[in-house]
């Protein structure tokens, strides 16, 4: 049974049909890449999965049970975390403040913030991702791009998210940092988490994803295992799919 | 060392100022004069704490002083008319809180930028103050149960100092040690990231602006109680001082961020400065000139920290280069 199943998902903005009749099964533990040109419907799909937007038609099922997300917080509670490219972190807040943003830990008897426990837990999450940062009080703006992605992922781990959606996680990064982020995705995969990777970077996709879904004009035009696929093959697929 | 200076430089300058006045004027470092300075600091400090809370959520409240003036005349009118002090006190606090809540609704529901919304509230509060009083001050021999609120000492310290300490501590604990405070800070720091993390950012802005109004209400009650009088516009002198205290406070302890300890220490520094200048024989207008220079210098000097503060970008406090 699919962990997350989409059936007949459609999204209309006025006269624009951004998504139409999309069926997609996502298995537990897989890294699924979502590709397609601008305007293919990727960001509409991400918004629906993140709970930021309700689909105009169709249904979602988690673990075979039909569900809907009443907002980003609701999606998080149901185990689906979304990491947006630009909006993932609050730059001037510390690592632990970012990891526990909106879900801070408190301690009795007065219900005051338990900063030490949040810092320790953040350190633990980062260790799981093999990211070594000494001081959890460091503002996130002082971290490298890859480390920032790691902090954003830690927030997903804090929610024990089973499905982590990453929207263009490497778009603004250099070569070394991109490698670091790909490594983070491999570690999430090794932990048995499901990752949905939205990316334009074909090389990244074939490096970490097991399966790739290509969207075009709001429809699914290809859905296949990456296997021995090379970046050029995928690029060709994105360009040609649906045209023949 | 550089970090130390950014953090504590302005505070040390304040301390140096204090020592300088103590050496230069025989009157400055007397119990009587210090009590005056601390009492003045109390009014300014409580008003500025409200401003700090609003700014924490990246909203600015330009109405605090006019709202305090309105709340003061409402309180004064009731005491003057023979109402029980507790009724007058509650009314003053309620007027302040209601104005703050109105600011919050204007900003979050009507979507008027706080810079404009609070300017509107300030004008309305000013007009209402004159309407209520017809421009005349309430002065009288008011019951000591009311004036005792701000006058006199408790445990060896002026009551006003206790009020300031209480409000300051409460605000500091709120911002630094509670979930609510963390959400206020996150709202100011990264509106969209906070919202996506499930923080009710609009409610946080409403709360912060309402608290700013409540602080203005408390300042008003204490002013009326301390002076045993209430007149329209009576808190207006505190307006620039409050802004200066918050901005100078942002150069202290947590550079580039509105913070409660910074605001309190800056409020004290400004009042020490004003008092010292008078004692050294400077004409009164020098206070305003120095105040303006401090406002400019605070923002210019802490450029490194403040330039990246979200509210600065939002309000266009600093021009791009």
Q: Measured between CB atoms, which of B179, B189, B193 is closest to A113?
A: B179
- Which residue in chain A is spatially nearest to B201 when comparing CA positions? A102
Whether the per-residue pLDDT at B18 is higher than 90: the answer is: no
Q: If you ran DSSP here, which 8-state letter would residue B40 be given? A: H
What are the chain A neighbours of B256 within 8 Å (beta carbons)? 92
Q: Tell me what the mean pLDDT of segment A3-13 comes to.
A: 93
Whether the per-residue pLDDT at B316 is higher than 50: the answer is: no
Chain-centroid distance of CA B103 in Å reads 16
Q: If you ran DSSP here, which 8-state letter would residue B137 be given? A: P
Q: How far apart are CA B227 and CA B297, in angstroms?
A: 33
Pairing of strands A31-35, B153-154: unpaired
CA distances from A85 to A29, A35, A166, A214, B155 (A): 22, 16, 8, 20, 56
Mutation pick from A87, A106, A135 vs chain B, by most beta carbons of B within 10 Å, is: A87
Q: Region of B293 please: left (phi>0), alpha (psi -120 to 50) or beta.
A: alpha
- pLDDT at position B63 is 97
- Residues of A within an 8 Å Cβ radius of B: 52, 71-73, 76, 82, 84, 87-93, 97, 101-104, 106, 111-113, 141, 155
Respond yes or no on whether the N-terminal peptide bond of residue A109 is cis (omega within 30° of 0): yes
Mutation pick from B179, B184, B204, B304 vs chain A, by most beta carbons of A within 10 Å, is: B179
Sorting pLDDT into bands at 50, 70 and 90, what band is A196? very high
- Structure tokens given for B36: 């005056």
CB–CB contact A102 B199 (8 Å): yes
Instruction: Give the dihedral of Cα atoms B123, B126, B127, B133; nearest 10 deg.
Output: 180
This complex has an ipTM of 0.86
- pLDDT at position B310 is 59
Do residues A193 and A162 touch, judged by C-beta distance below 8 A? yes
- How many contacts does A have with B, using Cβ atoms within 8 A? 68
How many helices and strands, by DSSP H and E, does chain B display? 15, 4
Q: Measured between CB atoms, which of A84, A92, A111 is closest to B196?
A: A84
The more confidently predicted of residues B56 and A14 is B56
Q: If you ran DSSP here, which 8-state letter would residue B149 be given? A: T
What are the chain B neighbours of A78 within 8 Å (beta carbons)? none
Percent of chain B's residues with pLDDT above 70: 93
> B158 has which bridge partners?
B153
How many helices and strands, by DSSP H and E, does chain A display? 8, 12
CA distances from B149 to B37, B89, B104, B146, B164 (A): 18, 10, 29, 6, 12
- pLDDT at position A136 is 95
State which of A9-23, A47-61, B42-56, B269-283 shows the largest mean pLDDT: B42-56
Sorting pLDDT into bands at 50, 70 and 90, what band is B88? very high
Q: How far apart are CA B227 and CA B224, in angstroms?
A: 5
Sorting pLDDT into bands at 50, 70 and 90, what band is B128? very high
Q: How many CB atoms lie within 10 A of CB B188?
A: 28
Write phi, then psi, for A60 (nearest 5 degrees): -115, 145
- pLDDT at position B8 is 83
Sequence-distant (≥ 6) Cβ neighbours of residue B265 within 8 angstroms: B11, B14, B249, B252, B253
Closest CA to A216 of A199, A240, A233, A236: A240
Tell me the angle at which helices B201-227 and B179-189 cross, rounded to the nearest 10 degrees: 110
Sorting pLDDT into bands at 50, 70 and 90, what band is A234? confident
Q: How far apart are CA A8 and CA B248, in angstroms?
A: 58
- Structure tokens given for A177: 């940092």
What are the chain B neighbours of A92 within 8 Å (beta carbons)? 189-190, 256-257, 308-309
What are the chain B neighbours of A103 within 8 Å (beta carbons)? 197-198
Q: How far apart are CA A84 and CA A170, in angstroms?
A: 11
Q: Any CB–CB contact under 8 A between B221 and chain A?
A: no
CB–CB contact A92 B257 (8 Å): yes
Pairing of strands A31-35, A194-198: parallel
Taking every pair of Cα atoms in chain B, the longest distance, rounded to a whole number of angstroms, is 59
Q: Region of B8 please: left (phi>0), alpha (psi -120 to 50) or beta.
A: alpha
pLDDT in tens, B109-121: 999 999 999 999 9
- Structure tokens given for B25: 């004027």
Q: If you ran DSSP here, which 8-state letter would residue A3 be given? A: S
pLDDT in tens, B195-216: 888 899 999 999 999 999 999 9
Give the DSSP per-residue string, A98-112. HHTTTS--EETTTTE
Q: How many CB atoms lie within 10 A of CB B1?
A: 5
State which of A126-130, A166-170, B59-63, B134-138 shows the largest mean pLDDT: B59-63
Q: Compute and round to an integer the Cα radius of gyration of chain B.
A: 19
What are the chain B neighbours of A104 within 8 Å (beta carbons)? 179, 182
- Structure tokens given for A92: 């001037």
Q: How far apart are CA B279 and CA A53, in angstroms?
A: 64
pLDDT in tens, A39-82: 888 889 999 999 988 999 999 999 999 999 998 889 999 999 99
> A222 has which bridge partners?
A214
Give chain A's end-to-end CA distance (angstroms, integer).
32
Q: Tell me what the mean pLDDT of segment A12-21 comes to.
A: 89
Q: Measured between CB atoms, which of B173, B194, B256 is closest to A90?
A: B194
Do residues A26 and A61 touch, judged by C-beta distance below 8 A? no
- Structure tokens given for B53: 């809370």
Whether the per-residue pLDDT at B317 is higher than 50: the answer is: no
Q: How far apart are CA A41 and CA A19, in angstroms?
A: 6
> A7 has which bridge partners?
A59
Whether the per-residue pLDDT at B319 is higher than 50: the answer is: no
Closest CA to B40 of B147, B150, B156, B143: B150
- pLDDT at position B21 is 87
pLDDT in tens, B280-309: 888 888 888 988 888 888 877 765 555 555
């Amino acid at each position: 049974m699919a962990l997350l199943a989409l059936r007949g998902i459609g999204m209309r903005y006025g006269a624009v049909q951004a998504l139409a009749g999309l069926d997609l099964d996502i298995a537990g533990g897989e890294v699924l890449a979502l590709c397609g040109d601008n305007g293919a419907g990727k960001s509409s799909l991400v918004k629906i999965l993140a709970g930021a937007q309700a689909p105009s038609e169709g249904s979602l099922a988690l673990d075979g049970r039909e569900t809907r997300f009443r907002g980003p917080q609701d999606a998080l509670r149901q185990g689906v975390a979304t990491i947006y490219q630009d909006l993932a972190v609050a730059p001037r807040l510390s690592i632990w403040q970012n990891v526990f943003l909106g879900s801070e830990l408190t301690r009795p008897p007065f219900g005051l913030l338990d900063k030490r426990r949040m810092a320790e837990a953040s350190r633990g999450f980062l260790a799981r991702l093999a990211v070594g940062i000494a001081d959890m009080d460091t503002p996130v703006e002082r971290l490298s791009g890859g480390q920032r992605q790691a902090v954003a992922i830690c927030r997903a781990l804090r929610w024990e998210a089973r499905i982590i959606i990453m929207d263009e996680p490497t778009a603004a990064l250099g070569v070394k940092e991109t490698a670091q982020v790909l490594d983070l995705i491999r570690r999430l995969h090794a932990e048995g988490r499901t990752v949905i990777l939205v990316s334009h970077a074909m090389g990244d996709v074939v490096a970490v994803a097991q399966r790739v879904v290509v969207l075009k004009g709001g429809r699914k035009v290809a859905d296949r295992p990456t296997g021995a696929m090379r970046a050029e093959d995928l690029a060709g697929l994105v360009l040609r799919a649906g045209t023949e | 060392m550089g970090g130390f200076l950014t953090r504590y430089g302005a505070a040390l300058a304040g301390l140096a100022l204090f020592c300088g006045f103590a050496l230069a004027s025989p009157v400055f470092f007397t119990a009587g004069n210090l009590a005056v300075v601390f009492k003045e600091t109390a009014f300014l400090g409580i008003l500025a704490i409200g401003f700090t809370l609003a700014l924490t959520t990246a909203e600015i409240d330009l109405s605090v002083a006019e709202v305090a003036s309105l709340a003061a005349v409402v309180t004064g009118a009731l005491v003057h008319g023979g109402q029980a002090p507790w009724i007058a006190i509650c009314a003053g606090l309620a007027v302040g809180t209601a104005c703050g809540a109105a600011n919050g609704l204007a900003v979050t529901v009507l979507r008027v930028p706080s810079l404009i919304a609070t300017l509107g509230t300030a004008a309305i509060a000013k007009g209402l103050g004159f309407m209520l009083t017809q421009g005349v001050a309430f002065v009288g021999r008011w019951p000591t149960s009311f004036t005792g609120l701000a006058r006199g000492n408790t445990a060896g310290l002026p009551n006003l100092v206790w009020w300031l300490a209480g409000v300051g501590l409460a605000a500091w604990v709120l911002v630094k040690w509670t979930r609510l405070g963390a959400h206020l800070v996150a709202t100011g720091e990264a509106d969209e990231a906070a919202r996506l993390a499930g923080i009710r950012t609009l409610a946080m802005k409403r709360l912060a602006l309402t608290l700013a109004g409540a602080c203005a209400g408390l300042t008003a009650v204490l002013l009326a109680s301390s002076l045993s009088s209430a007149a329209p516009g009576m808190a207006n002198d505190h307006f620039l001082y409050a802004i200066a205290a918050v901005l100078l406070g942002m150069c202290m302890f947590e550079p580039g961020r509105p913070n409660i300890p910074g605001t309190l220490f800056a409020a004290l520094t400004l009042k020490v400065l004003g008092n010292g200048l008078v004692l050294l024989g400077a004409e009164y207008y020098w206070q305003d000139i120095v105040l303006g220079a401090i406002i400019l210098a605070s923002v210019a000097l802490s450029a490194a920290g403040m330039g990246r503060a979200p509210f600065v970008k939002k309000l266009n406090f600093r021009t791009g280069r």
